[in-house]
Chain A
Amino acid sequence: MTAVAENGQAATQHMVRAEQIVKRFGSLTILNGIDLSVKHGQVVVIIGPSGSGKTTLLRCINHLEKIDSGRIYVNGELVGYRLVKGRMVESSEADIARMRAKIGFVFQRFNLFPHLTVLENIIEAPVHVLGQSKTEAKEYATTLLGKVGLAEKAHVYPHKLSGGQQQRVAIARALAMKPKLMLFDEATSALDPELVGEVLKVMRQLAEEGMTMIVVTHEMGFAREVADHVIFMDKAIIVEQGPPEQIFSQAQNERTRDFLGMIHED
């Protein structure tokens, strides 16, 4: 709340706004002063070589990682911290959880709950975090499963599903919380090539519906077609950013061109 008051307009205009984020692991700097802003309904794709810090940036946005300095606002609210006399103090566990409940996160390795069926996976958080009734949660979960094309798999355990199916369930699970923002962390990297398409299709559909998304990916085709804005990261900084046609056709920076060249060679 303090954040809104302090940052007024700037914060509310954007779904995500990051200012000068620095993240270190020991002596290693993973993020070195990142600025980022994502508007409502925008799809931002982050590309870059391994170890460039793109996954860490994503994890900082829902506070799975603490930051060493800088500020992140989601929907005008300061993420993970509150300001006490001008100093950043980590928020209470309850506040952090409340904030995370509004942000969907899709992991590279799905992280479905193996002891629960597909349907139970999806209704777990709506029932136990949002306090929805089971009937209500199941109804919405069934709708979502239909949307990701897995209506008939509701009572199956995750290990019976292919990777692509698991990832689609994971997306449905995140959507069940009715998030305002979806974060995708290399959602297709752990999949066999023939399964990538079905997951990208769901993501594309979501983008078309107007969901605000930040997508870390190596799928350049997806970035080119779906992204409103592309960010290229390397060595802990944002090297270059802009609309996809600019990044993919007329990249200004040599590192960007090198990276895209290598990708296209594959």
Chain B
Amino acid sequence: MSLRQSASLIIFLMGGCMILSLLLTAYTNVSSTDKGSAPNATQPSVTAPQDLLTPGTLTVGSDTTYPPQEFIDTATGQATGFDIDLITAIAQRMGLKTTIVPAGFDTIIDSLNAKRFDVVISAVAISNERKQKADFVPYFNAGASLLVQKGNPRHITSTSDLCGLNVGVQKGTVEQDYLTTADKACKEKHKSAINLTILQNQTDVVQLLATGRVVATYQDSPVTDYYLQQNAGRFDVGGSVVNAVAEGMAIRKGDTSMFNAVQTALNQLKADGTYRKLFKKWGIMSGELPLNRPQGVTGVFRWDIFWQFLFSPFFLRAAWTTLWISVVAQFLGVVLGLFLALMRMSRSPMLNWPARAYIWFFRGSPLLVQVLVLFDGLPRLPQAFGLDPRLWQAFVLGPITVVLIAFSLNEGAYMAEIIRAGITSVDAGQMEAAKSLGMRYALAMRRIILPQAARVIVPPLGNEFNNMLKTTSIASVIGLLELTNTAQIFGSPTFTTFELLLVATLYYLLLTTVWSYVQAWIEKRLDPNRTNKLDLQKKGWTQRVLGFGAADTRGAGTLVSGH
């Protein structure tokens, strides 16, 4: 490739980046769940804090898989629970509306510090370690307690009874730390280790107990009590509440105006009885349970839930999210892959080696890791390199931005190899013929080589897109409400994750099936010999969808004249 070609290539790449960033800004603020304040809100009595992410709104981070404190109301799709009511009441005192942003618990404090939200309320137990990362306004006293099978057949009364047993716990909780300590104690006493199963969602942890995969789960005592009431006759509490600590609303260190406003509002709520009313409402003190409360573990397949969600707006929206993220990421991946392929095929080491390194890196590391690094790791970069830590705000990307960037970059590496194979499959005589007619490299590529390569590229590209539709589920780890995460979030409060994962599966199948028809149509369009006997039209749907029968493996080679 000549210098001039390299220059135009760089310009193309820069243009691509600009389009990407435009797309990203357009879609960044879609994933939050709005929860407006009641219109008859009490007059603001507390000065609103400064520097809100969105003026007039308190943006709250919460891991909404933790009933009764925070979870998604399956009837409305909105976040609800004791914590949510409390923070909404606090915001009302400040004259603010509330937006709840779903977030993963294990990274929630980091996300707060990365200014993804103004405040966190998510049953966060105050520990010394956490106090180093954020300031806390205590609002809830909770200890840890063990949930066990009915009748406590293993006679578990404390964590020291857990040596050698299967135990479930939620990732990133203080209980996980307690269990790690208990495990060490087991080893010191030369007993077997505790076999821990650590999951993202508390409800999934309790599900482990319900299905007998673990003999005990360890969580905050209100949660233990809650599941006990929810599933009368199935569980028992093992031993008593230990390590009682306060849970706190987390506020960024140094954000004093926020700290004071939250503290003052909470004091007011305590003084006027609202705080106590909320306790009662959520049955945490009295045992009374509200309407619309989560159902217990029944072990029965809930067809009603299945049908209710099959055509619900939550899943339609999730399917749309899955679809458009896939389309955009695939498109950007193809564009990127094309440039990488051309660079990779260039004889110039200046172009060749960066492309090789890129492909090596992105094909060699897991997409999940790339997503997490962009989401959680990027904001820490300035600090890691000794720069002004305040710079990190520039590195905080929204979940959709992260997903689109990571997926496009990753896909680009795979598409590069696919496109390279496609270009290589075109007879070398084609480029010579084009050049001998006075065509320049770029024109010959565009008009002669790529249209022929396309026939070789499209079948694997179709595979890639099919994969992309399903790979979007990785976005669930950073809270994006695509199909898989929607199934998990809506399923967890009612123990119907299985039913909803089935719903999600049907949507995935719908998307991939429609795509297989689109792909067949594209392949047909690219075939210059449209009267071909192996016409795709004559392939039955079973053949196309289920992949029976030999694939159409004609390469471009046989279509090149003169062979």
State whether these chains interact: yes
Contact call A64/B2, Cβ cutoff below 8 A: no
Question: Provided the pairs A111-B562, A159-B559, A163-B562 are in contact, do residues A129 and B451 lie with their beta carbons within 8 angstroms?
Answer: no
Which chain B residues numbered 65 to 114 have a C-beta less than 8 Å away from chain A?
none
Q: A58-99 interface mask toward B, CB cutoff 8 Å, 1 = contact, 0 = none? A: 000010100000000000000000000000000011100110
Residues in chain A near residue B556, CB distance under 8 A: 114
Contact call A157/B529, Cβ cutoff below 8 A: yes
Whether A190 sits at the interface, judged by CB under 8 Å, is yes
Contact call A97/B439, Cβ cutoff below 8 A: yes
Contact call B452/A100, Cβ cutoff below 8 A: no
Contact call A124/B429, Cβ cutoff below 8 A: no
Shortest beta-carbon distance from B560 to chain A in Å: 5
Residues in chain A near residue B443, CB distance under 8 A: 128-129
Contact call A114/B559, Cβ cutoff below 8 A: yes
Contact call B560/A101, Cβ cutoff below 8 A: no
Contact call A98/B451, Cβ cutoff below 8 A: no
Contact call B429/A93, Cβ cutoff below 8 A: no
Besides the contacts A93-B5, A159-B529, A177-B438, what 9 more A-B pairs have beta carbons closer than 8 Å? Answer: A92-B2, A93-B2, A109-B561, A111-B430, A112-B561, A113-B430, A115-B452, A157-B528, A174-B436
Whether A166 sits at the interface, judged by CB under 8 Å, is yes
Whether A195 sits at the interface, judged by CB under 8 Å, is no
Residues in chain B near residue A166, CB distance under 8 A: 561-562
Whether A125 sits at the interface, judged by CB under 8 Å, is yes
Interface residue tally of chain A, by bracket? Answer: 35 or more
Contact call A111/B433, Cβ cutoff below 8 A: yes
Closest to B530 in A: A157
Residues in chain A near residue B4, CB distance under 8 A: 92-94
Whether B241 sits at the interface, judged by CB under 8 Å, is no
Interface residue tally of chain B, by bracket? Answer: 20 to 34
Contact call B561/A97, Cβ cutoff below 8 A: no
**16 A-B pairs (CB sep. < 8 Å):** A100-B438, A105-B436, A107-B436, A110-B561, A110-B562, A111-B430, A113-B433, A115-B451, A115-B452, A128-B443, A129-B437, A129-B443, A157-B528, A157-B529, A159-B559, A190-B562
Whether B276 sits at the interface, judged by CB under 8 Å, is no
Residues in chain B near residue A129, CB distance under 8 A: 437-439, 443
Whether B427 sits at the interface, judged by CB under 8 Å, is yes
Contact call A114/B561, Cβ cutoff below 8 A: yes
Contact of A125 among B430, B439, B441 (CB under 8 A): B439
The CA-CA distance from A157 to B433 in the complex, in Å, is: 17
Contact call B441/A109, Cβ cutoff below 8 A: no
Q: B421-444 interface mask toward A, CB cutoff 8 Å, 1 = contact, 0 = none? A: 000000101101111111111010
Whether B13 sits at the interface, judged by CB under 8 Å, is no
Residues in chain B near residue A190, CB distance under 8 A: 562
Whether A173 sits at the interface, judged by CB under 8 Å, is yes
Question: Provided the pairs A92-B4, A157-B529 are in contact, do residues A111 and B440 lie with their beta carbons within 8 angstroms?
Answer: no
Residues in chain B near residue A115, CB distance under 8 A: 451-452, 528
Q: Which of A's residues lie within 8 Å of B, judged by CB?
A: 62, 64, 92-94, 97-98, 100-105, 107, 109-116, 124-125, 128-130, 157-159, 161, 163, 166, 173-174, 177, 190
Whether B447 sits at the interface, judged by CB under 8 Å, is yes
Contact of B448 among A104, A107, A113 (CB under 8 A): A113
User: Lowest 10 A-B CB distances belong to which pairs?
Assistant: A101-B438, A111-B433, A105-B436, A125-B437, A109-B562, A111-B429, A158-B561, A129-B438, A112-B561, A97-B440
The CA-CA distance from A210 to B45 in the complex, in Å, is: 100
Shortest beta-carbon distance from A252 to chain B in Å: 35
Contact of A128 among B430, B436, B447, B561 (CB under 8 A): B447
Question: Provided the pairs A64-B432, A114-B528, A159-B529 are in contact, do residues A124 and B437 lie with their beta carbons within 8 angstroms?
Answer: yes
The CA-CA distance from A113 to B451 in the complex, in Å, is: 10
The CA-CA distance from A128 to B437 in the complex, in Å, is: 10
The CA-CA distance from A107 to B429 in the complex, in Å, is: 8
Residues in chain B near residue A158, CB distance under 8 A: 561
Contact call A97/B435, Cβ cutoff below 8 A: yes
The CA-CA distance from A159 to B532 in the complex, in Å, is: 12
Residues in chain A near residue B562, CB distance under 8 A: 109-112, 163, 166, 190
Residues in chain B near residue A113, CB distance under 8 A: 430, 433-434, 448, 452
The CA-CA distance from A166 to B528 in the complex, in Å, is: 16
Shortest beta-carbon distance from A31 to chain B in Å: 18
Closest to A160 in B: B529
Contact of A94 among B434, B440, B452, B560 (CB under 8 A): B440
The CA-CA distance from A104 to B437 in the complex, in Å, is: 7
Contact call B438/A125, Cβ cutoff below 8 A: yes
Closest to A129 in B: B438
